[in-house]
């Protein structure tokens, strides 16, 4: 047997070394390496457990090995990571070939999960933690919810599909084309700010519609709360109409559902403030929290509040489509009108003018009124405490406008009970709003650095 020429061996090995395929000579810190590989192993076991439960050929151990391979590839370097990804791809090919030989269907979903697991392991090996963990949790959830997601997609109507595509077009296509900053002769309109609000409000309604479609109403709790997130007025009107039969259980169910719809509306408006103007959300925490506590108190004061929701006789509340062009234009138009009217009223009549606009806006659309208040404070047009009070007033107006809708039940007892409940919510909400300003002013004086977070709240 001839001995290889040393020059030939060097000519073959040297390019590999230059390409970075040599094993790293640096000593890896043991605790850090162990932590990265342990995270990769845990994520591989997570998705492998789901595959094992479904009886797949690639199960718990296979996904654990793939994740560990990816983790080691990430620690060794990019070239090894690419090599390991290629090996995992070949493994997926062999898995599908074997399935075809036994006259079974291909495992495309499992193959895709194997590749994602390998990439997540590589990220773990490179020191990432939250990103690969989030990816693997999402992938495992998609695999575990296969039946529910399949049923949801097959049950989609053509109108619902068009609504989803329209929302995507408005968010991805139209929004980037809108001009930045204020436009117009008086610089009162900010197209992008208005469109973000439209997308946000419609997105909340769309996500809630998806939950509604997947889980159904299943009684008063789901009907009242989820319906209130989409449109509290529609939900209140429908639940009140169902109480016309004068049946005791139906009236009690409608009472609880209307309270839940009111609480959901408050949560939605508070969430809009958290997203659009966190400083305003902080100042509005007390009144919103007070109103939610009072709403919850009236709900649980009902002797039937702890009943099984499946036995509630309310049936399904019909909601509008998850998203439509009419709804988008309505939200955008109301937002722009309230934005301009609030700014002009504040300049002409001071805080009282803005509060009046907020009350009127709350009757039309409390979500748009709250978003307009957040937009004005973000642009520096009004102080934080003024926007906070305006958001509270808009929510209170939405509570008050539900009372005429309750009269559809033609039940004096139900109207009286809800009237007392709504009145107490409104009174305590106003008291909370009045107490919020001096309390925050006191905190500004006592807590160092808080004035930098809430610079627009005047001291006492």
CA distance 32 to 451: 41
Could you identify the residue written with the tokens 């490179």?
126
Burial (CB count <10 Å: 0-12, 13-18, 19+), residue 35: middle
Distance between CA atoms of residues 30 and 120, nearest Å: 21
Of 114, 34, 131, 107, the residue nearest 66 (C-alpha) = 114
Domain annotation covers residue 459: no
The domain in which residue 38 lies consists of: 6-144
Q: What is the pLDDT of residues 438-458, one digit of tens each?
A: 776 676 677 666 555 554 444
**Does some domain include residue 458?**
no
> Does 130 lie in the same domain as 212?
no
* Whether residue 308 is found in the same domain as residue 394: yes
Percentage of the chain surpassing pLDDT 70? Answer: 66
Q: Residues 57, 135: one domain?
A: yes
Q: Is residue 363 in some structural domain?
A: yes
Residue ending a domain, among 119, 144, 169, is 144
309 pLDDT above the threshold of 90: no
- Give the pLDDT of residue 10: 55
Q: Which of 144, 165, 191 is the last residue of a domain?
A: 144
Among 72-76, 174-178, 341-345, 429-433, name the one with the lowest average pLDDT.
341-345
For the cut 80, the answer to whether the pLDDT of residue 118 exceeds it is yes
Residues 235, 94 within the same domain: no
Q: Are residues 203 and 269 in the same domain?
A: yes
Tell me what percent of the residues of the chain surpass a pLDDT of 90. Answer: 8
Alpha helices in 19-107 (DSSP H): 30-53, 60-76, 78-101
pLDDT of residue 185: 61
In a domain, 460, yes or no: no
Phi, psi of 183 (to 5 degrees): -130, 170
Per residue in 10-38, pLDDT (tens digit) is: 554 455 455 555 555 556 677 888 899 99
Provide the domain count of the chain.
2
Looking at the structure, tell me whether residues 277 and 171 fall in a common domain.
Answer: yes
86 and 163 both lie in a single domain: no
Residue 268 domain-assigned? Answer: yes
254 and 401 share one domain = yes
Please state which of the ranges 17-26, 132-141, 158-167 shows the lowest mean pLDDT: 17-26
**Are both 330 and 357 inside the same structural domain?**
yes
In a domain, 218, yes or no: yes
Check whether residue 119 and residue 155 sit in a common domain.
no
Calculate helix-pair angle for 412-446, 285-301, nearest 10 degrees.
Answer: 150
Is residue 328 over pLDDT 90?
A: no
Q: Which range, of 211-225, 226-240, 284-298, 369-383, averages the lowest pLDDT? A: 211-225
Q: Are residues 155 and 140 in the same domain?
A: no
* pTM attached to this predicted model: 0.55
The answer to whether 180 and 194 are in contact (CB under 8 A) is: no
Whether residues 105 and 186 fall in one domain: no
* pLDDT number for residue 12: 47
- Boundary of a domain, candidates 144, 159, 179: 144
For residue 237, being part of any structural domain is answered with: yes
In a domain, 1, yes or no: no
Angle at 421 between CA 416 and CA 426, to 5 degrees: 125
Burial per residue of 97-130, b for 16 or more beta-carbon CB atoms within 10 angstroms, e otherwise: eebeeeeeeebeebbebbbbbbbbbbbbbbebee
Which residues, other chains included, contact 143 with Cβ-Cβ below 8 Å and sequence gap of 6+?
47, 50, 51, 54, 109, 113
> Tens of pLDDT along 91-111?
888 888 887 887 777 778 888
């Amino acid at each position: 047997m001839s001995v290889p020429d040393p020059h030939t061996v060097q000519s073959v090995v040297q390019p590999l070394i230059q390409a970075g395929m040599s094993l790293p000579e640096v000593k890896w810190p043991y605790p850090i390496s162990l932590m990265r590989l342990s995270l990769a192993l845990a994520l591989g076991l997570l998705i492998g457990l789901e595959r094992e439960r479904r009886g797949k050929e690639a199960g718990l151990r296979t996904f654990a090995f793939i994740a560990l391979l990816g983790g080691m590839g990430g620690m060794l370097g990019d070239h090894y990571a690419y090599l390991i990804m290629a090996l995992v791809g070949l493994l997926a090919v062999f898995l599908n070939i074997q399935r075809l030989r036994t006259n079974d269907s291909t495992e495309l979903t499992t193959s895709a999960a194997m590749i994602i697991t390998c990439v997540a392991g590589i990220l773990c090996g490179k020191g990432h933690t939250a990103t690969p963990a989030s990816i693997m949790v999402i992938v495992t959830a998609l695999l575990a919810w296969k039946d529910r997601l399949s049923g949801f997609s097959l049950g989609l109507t053509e109108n619902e599909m068009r609504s989803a595509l329209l929302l995507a077009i408005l968010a991805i296509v139209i929004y980037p084309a809108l001009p930045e900053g204020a436009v117009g002769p008086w610089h009162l309109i900010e197209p992008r700010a208005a469109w973000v609000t439209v997308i946000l409000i419609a997105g909340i309604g769309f996500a809630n519609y998806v939950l509604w479609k997947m889980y159904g109403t299943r009684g008063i709790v789901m009907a009242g709360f989820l319906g209130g997130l989409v449109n509290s007025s529609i939900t209140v009107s429908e639940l009140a109409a169902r109480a016309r039969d004068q049946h005791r259980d139906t009236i009690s169910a409608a009472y609880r559902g209307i309270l839940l719809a009111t609480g959901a509306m408050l949560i939605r408006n508070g969430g809009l403030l958290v997203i659009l103007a966190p400083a305003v959300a902080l100042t509005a925490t007390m009144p919103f929290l007070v109103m939610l506590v009072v709403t919850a108190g009236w709900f649980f004061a009902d002797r039937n509040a702890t009943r099984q929701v499946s036995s509630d006789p309310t049936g399904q509340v019909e909601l509008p489509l998850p998203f439509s062009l009419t709804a988008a234009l309505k939200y955008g138009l109301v937002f722009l009108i309230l934005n301009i009217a609030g700014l002009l009223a504040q300049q002409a009549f001071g805080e009282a003018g803005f509060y009046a606009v907020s009350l009127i806006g709350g009757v039309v659309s409390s979500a748009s009124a709250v978003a307009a208040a957040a937009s004005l404070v973000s642009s520096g047009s009004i102080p934080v405490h003024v926007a906070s009070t305006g958001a509270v007033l808009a929510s209170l107006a939405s509570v008050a406008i539900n009372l005429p809708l309750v009269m559809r039940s033609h039940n004096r007892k139900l109207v009286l009970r809800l009237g007392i409940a709504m009145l107490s919510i409104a009174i305590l909400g106003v008291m909370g709003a009045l107490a919020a300003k001096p309390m925050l002013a006191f905190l500004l004086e006592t807590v160092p650095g808080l004035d930098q977070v809430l610079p627009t709240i005047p001291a006492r």
